[in-house]
Structure 1
Amino acid sequence: MLSTFENAALEAGRKIIEIFRAGCAVSTKADATPVTLADHEAEIIILAHLSRDFPDIPVIAEESVAAGHVPDIAGRPFFLVDPLDGTREFVDKRKEFTVNIAYIENGVPLAGIVYAPALGVAFVGESGSAEKLHVGDDFTVDRREKIAVRDEPEHRLALASRCHNSPATDSFLKKHAISECTNIGSSLKFCLLAEGKADVYPRFTRTMEWDTAAGDAVLRAAGGTTLTLDGEPLGYGKPGDPDFVNPDFISWGSRKRALQRA
């Protein structure tokens, strides 16, 4: 499955970078979020790969959902796709945008890829194993390295959303005596936890399931966890929720935290 994810993400990333360099118009969706040609073109590419290799698995993809195309996933495994996570970064010519693809079974993200084409890196995770991929200018993988979360250090580093910080986040950092906080866009926050470069990512503003599933899959494969505020693992494809909105959550890179569900 990850080979399909890689091929789809790399091809989508190539198209995104082509549009990134050429420039494109920006539109606003009904939920007031931005969307570009790159979002649509990347989603078309990803859906083609998934439908060819896994024709029986439904796909929940951001732009398709915005257009009213929502397949029935009740009681079924499914894919979650965000073809361009971090559209605001893309529009502002920052390089932190990503391509996200995840596989969900029984509400759990079991496999995923997060690819940052402008940074030349991707992160993949499946079955308790995670890797960082170094991607060349020709959009092929040059090198792979195993990654894992780190033991929680005395001075913890938190990650916060560049565009969606909140007073609740500031309160959490103070309460937990977080010594440092770095702002970064898109699902790369999960990946920094997964490769042991940070310790916690609290999110108390709105996110969608396709925003988080791929990064969460990578983090869990690397030994971390994502918990809701009641201490339960963040679930996907929640029954009775047609909007795919996540509750507030905290992602931890520490294995100790994952075991304690703290």
Structure 2
Amino acid sequence: MKMDAYASLLEKLLPIAHDAGNAIMNIYGGNIDVRTKSDASPVTEADELAEALILPALQALDRGIPIVAEEQAAAGNTPKTGDRFWLVDPLDGTKEFINRNGEFTVNIALIENGVPVLGVVLAPALKRLFAGGLGLGAFVEENGERKAIQCRPVPAAGLTVVASRSHGDEAALARFLAGAKVASQTSAGSSLKLCLLAAGEADVYPRLGPTMEWDIAAGDAVLRAAGGQLITLDNKPMVYGKPNFANPHFSAWGLRAGDRF
């Protein structure tokens, strides 16, 4: 696909994400009915409604591109993907949504040959939208403005580390960071962590626990477009379309990707 086609497709994803975000926020303002899926993770009406809006909107763009979406996959409905497919997490950070801390996101990514080439991450409660794509760079929309973003060099004071708010393993994180010069550590929910790296607001996000491809693909696309990298613990780029869509442990970096400490 040519760059202008990527750019056009990315713009068409933004209103789809906003529609899902609006639906989520309508539920966020009222009672939240929480149920438990077979993997013991929580799910709400907001997860399901957002996905029900996103899927037909993506099909309208191109019915030939398969869609792998979290709630459909949880129900056992996973299509054959091939070399090109969508990855959708309609509400990443369901625990953050339930706790009403605002750190939840809508995630849409296009995968080609194992690489996330386009990604949109919307944090509707925070009114921040991050997007980016292969050869297009990355940007954030907030306060009615769009501005380009990129990863930053690590400040002289040291790394700003961002960790998971709901899935932390302090001992594993300490081992990973042993010997590193760390200026500060903060926690954030959902795929926002990857977007903080892309926006130059943090430097490294180690994820030393289980994730699924739809959890990270859109944020990875934004991060790559901003100059960063998401790598497995053996220093290989994350690949998408794996069996069962389960990820190995990884670390995401700004401009220090591959350089480690």
Which of 41, 44, 65 is 1:57 aligned to? 65
Residue 91 of structure 1 corresponds to which residue in structure 2? Answer: 98
* Per-residue CA distance 1:127-147 (angstroms, 9 max, x = gap): 231000116xxxxxx210000
Instruction: Provide the rounded CA distance (Å) in 2 between the counterparts of 1:81 and 1:99.
Output: 8
For the 8 Å contact 1:101–1:114, the answer to whether it is kept is yes
* Per-residue CA distance 1:109-133 (angstroms, 9 max, x = gap): 1100000000001000012310001
Say which is worse superposed, 126-135 or 19-28, in terms of deviation.
126-135
Number of residue pairs aligned between Structure 1 and Structure 2 = 250
The normalised TM-score by structure 1 is: 0.92
Q: Does 1:101 align with 2:105?
A: no
Instruction: Provide the rounded CA distance (Å) in 1 between the counterparts of 2:257 and 2:159.
Output: 15
List runs of 5+ in structure 2 lacking aligned partners: 1-8
Residue 153 of structure 1 corresponds to which residue in structure 2? Answer: 155
Q: Does 1:16 align with 2:24?
A: yes
Which of 133, 136, 154 is 2:141 aligned to? 133
> Shift of the alpha carbon at 1:259?
6.1
Residue 217 of structure 1 corresponds to which residue in structure 2? Answer: 221
Residue 193 of structure 1 corresponds to which residue in structure 2? Answer: 197
* Per-residue CA distance 1:23-71 (angstroms, 9 max, x = gap): 2210000000000000000001100110111110000000000011110
> Shift of the alpha carbon at 1:258?
3.4
Instruction: Provide the rounded CA distance (Å) in 2 between the counterparts of 1:258 and 1:175.
Output: 16
Say which is worse superposed, 210-219 or 163-172, in terms of deviation.
163-172
> Shift of the alpha carbon at 1:260?
4.6
Whichever residue aligns with residue 144 of structure 1, its letter is R
Question: What is the DSSP-based 3-state SS (H/G/I as helix, E as strand, rest coil) of the residue aligned with 2:211?
Answer: coil
For the 8 Å contact 1:58–1:71, the answer to whether it is kept is yes
Say which is worse superposed, 181-190 or 170-179, in terms of deviation.
170-179
* Per-residue CA distance 1:81-104 (angstroms, 9 max, x = gap): 000000000001110000000000
List runs of 5+ in structure 1 lacking aligned partners: 136-141
Residue 176 of structure 1 corresponds to which residue in structure 2? Answer: 180
Q: Does 1:258 align with 2:257?
A: yes
**Identity fraction in percent:** 50
> Shift of the alpha carbon at 1:76?
2.1
